[in-house]
Chains A and B, each alone.
Chain A
């Protein structure tokens, strides 16, 4: 850092690359033999600090936001405006007794939250959070992300099964049924972006969206298949991270806490941490695939550092998730499954087809025709499929034969 300050001007470019330059400056002071290890540690540690910190901020924002949406204050007791609430919650979780059921499988019960958090963290390794700021640029990055994302299901089942409680097992069954059902549309919603970029590498996908026409960016969101793909991706991501309205696995009012009902103290907090980390990671992938990653939304705003844009987009998506949570009631199990298999999945498949169509239809002067054709191909089945989702059974007054 000192070297950096000495070396010169804090131009916009330097500010953009400040973390990269800082890392290089630190590495230059490390003995050669230790450099690979030091490089890994310097890259990983900030990620493991920033995102749990974001989790802490999100909990307070979520509780306050939900409160305001319900015309309440939300937490306002700890610290100024209740902003120290996450610290209080964390201390509370740490000093609570860690109860393990006597009949539980001790080892699996212990490892379930650990695996959950580890899997949630692994996904961040391929997410570009700024220009030149990605832990590893895998050439199959998106694939890697979905692969480690599905480890979460394993840990959910570990938690549900090892607790030896009927509620946790039921919760785990629900959670896994839901996660597997929505994993398919989640991947399929991501496919169009991969097709358009021609690469599975997250860095390449962001690069493919980096240009501008006039002042407007080339984000995949601004195409018919991009809008639909992003929408499907958001829905599937909500379900994948077990958030309202798809929070059946937790279902506070029905099965209390679902698969982690037998956890207490900090292990319970770890489940929450992992769930939120998963939500951030999927949101970040959505940003990478459709919202141009770290690139600025308008060309003349490019002077603002790329990592600020990434976190701004991430916070906007988090707010959207909170907004949705404050608005929609929980779905029923059959509605959830029907929605996944009868609506999301066909639409995602169709979207893959439309992306191909978009690719081979002529651009240039006929661009508006290309737009219209693709939008029509997507809209017509959407309307038909949504009709089929409507409840056809009329609700009648129920009569009880044995009550007379």
Chain B
């Protein structure tokens, strides 16, 4: 009969209309600023820099190799290498970024920087709520704003972070073994350089390794 389909449709919308007042399950809208749904592990937004330990400046994994800066398709990364060296995450003496800026108004979230980083220093963040009242300086993140702890990385990408921690622990063990096997060589190699830096390098080398041994276990526990 004519109008059957219309009547069927009208009953459906009427059922929705009254049903939405009765059962909350029908209303799937998330009331955003008050309610937030947890993000899935694979989500990503903008890159951040991982640091180990409590001090963001000392524990930063980045060694200012500038590969990400060169690979970045929209050229949103700016790195300035330091003059001196300090031990990195696996205990080798390395440069560190004196300046590391990412312009997130230019970044296209392609994750290429993460894929090319040999030091597992740059990772993708899930934070999307980044409004600012200044579209120039507010969206240009410096190294302090970019630095986020390894614990945070574990929180947002647990599986990935555990794998990274395991790989880093292996590296650390290797470096420590090498240092133990040939201490005079290391001392001899360090001699031509400034003695003060060599001394800090050798004395600090085992320290992060020791500090970070419980790390992978902690990661696995999570």
Interface residues of A (CB under 8 A from B): 65, 68-73, 323-324, 326-328, 382-383, 386, 389
Residue pair B9, A68 in contact (C-beta under 8 Å) = no
Partner of B27, one of A69, A71, A327, A382: A71
Residues on B with C-beta less than 8 A from A71 are 16, 19-20, 26-28
Residues on B with C-beta less than 8 A from A68 are 16-17, 20-21
14 A-B residue contacts at CB 8 Å?
A: A65-B17, A68-B20, A68-B21, A71-B28, A72-B29, A73-B27, A324-B10, A326-B17, A327-B10, A327-B12, A328-B9, A383-B2, A386-B2, A389-B2
Residue pair B16, A69 in contact (C-beta under 8 Å) = yes
| Chain B interface main SS type | helix
| Chain A interface main SS type | helix
Residues on A with C-beta less than 8 A from B16 are 68-71
Residue of A nearest to B18 (CB): A68
B6 lies within 8 A of chain A by Cβ: yes
Residue of A nearest to B25 (CB): A71
Residue pair B20, A323 in contact (C-beta under 8 Å) = no
Residue of A nearest to B21 (CB): A68
B14 lies within 8 A of chain A by Cβ: yes
Partner of B14, one of A323, A328, A383: A323
Provide the bound-state CA to CA distance between A72 and B21, in Å: 10
In this complex, how many residues of chain B approach chain A with their Cβ under 8 Å: the count is 18
Residue pair A73, B13 in contact (C-beta under 8 Å) = no
Provide the bound-state CA to CA distance between A256 and B16, in Å: 28
Nearest CB on A from B11, distance (A): 9
Q: From residue 196 to 215 of chain B, which have CB atoms closer than 8 A to chain A? A: none
Nearest CB on B from A387, distance (A): 8
Residues on A with C-beta less than 8 A from B10 are 323-324, 327
Q: Mark B144-177, 1 if CB is under 8 A from A, else 0.
A: 0000000000000000000000000000000000
Nearest CB on A from B63, distance (A): 48
Nearest CB on B from A227, distance (A): 13
Nearest CB on A from B34, distance (A): 11
Please provide the 8 A-B residue pairs with the shortest distance between their CB atoms, ordered closest to farther.
Answer: A386-B2, A69-B13, A327-B9, A71-B26, A327-B13, A68-B20, A68-B17, A326-B13
Residues on A with C-beta less than 8 A from B19 are 71
Residue pair B13, A72 in contact (C-beta under 8 Å) = no
Residue of A nearest to B28 (CB): A71
Residues on A with C-beta less than 8 A from B13 are 69, 323, 326-327
Residues on B with C-beta less than 8 A from A73 are 27, 29, 31
Residues on B with C-beta less than 8 A from A327 are 6, 9-10, 12-13
Provide the bound-state CA to CA distance between A69 and B29, in Å: 14
Residue of B nearest to A329 (CB): B9
Provide the bound-state CA to CA distance between A326 and B18, in Å: 14
Provide the bound-state CA to CA distance between A382 and B2, in Å: 9
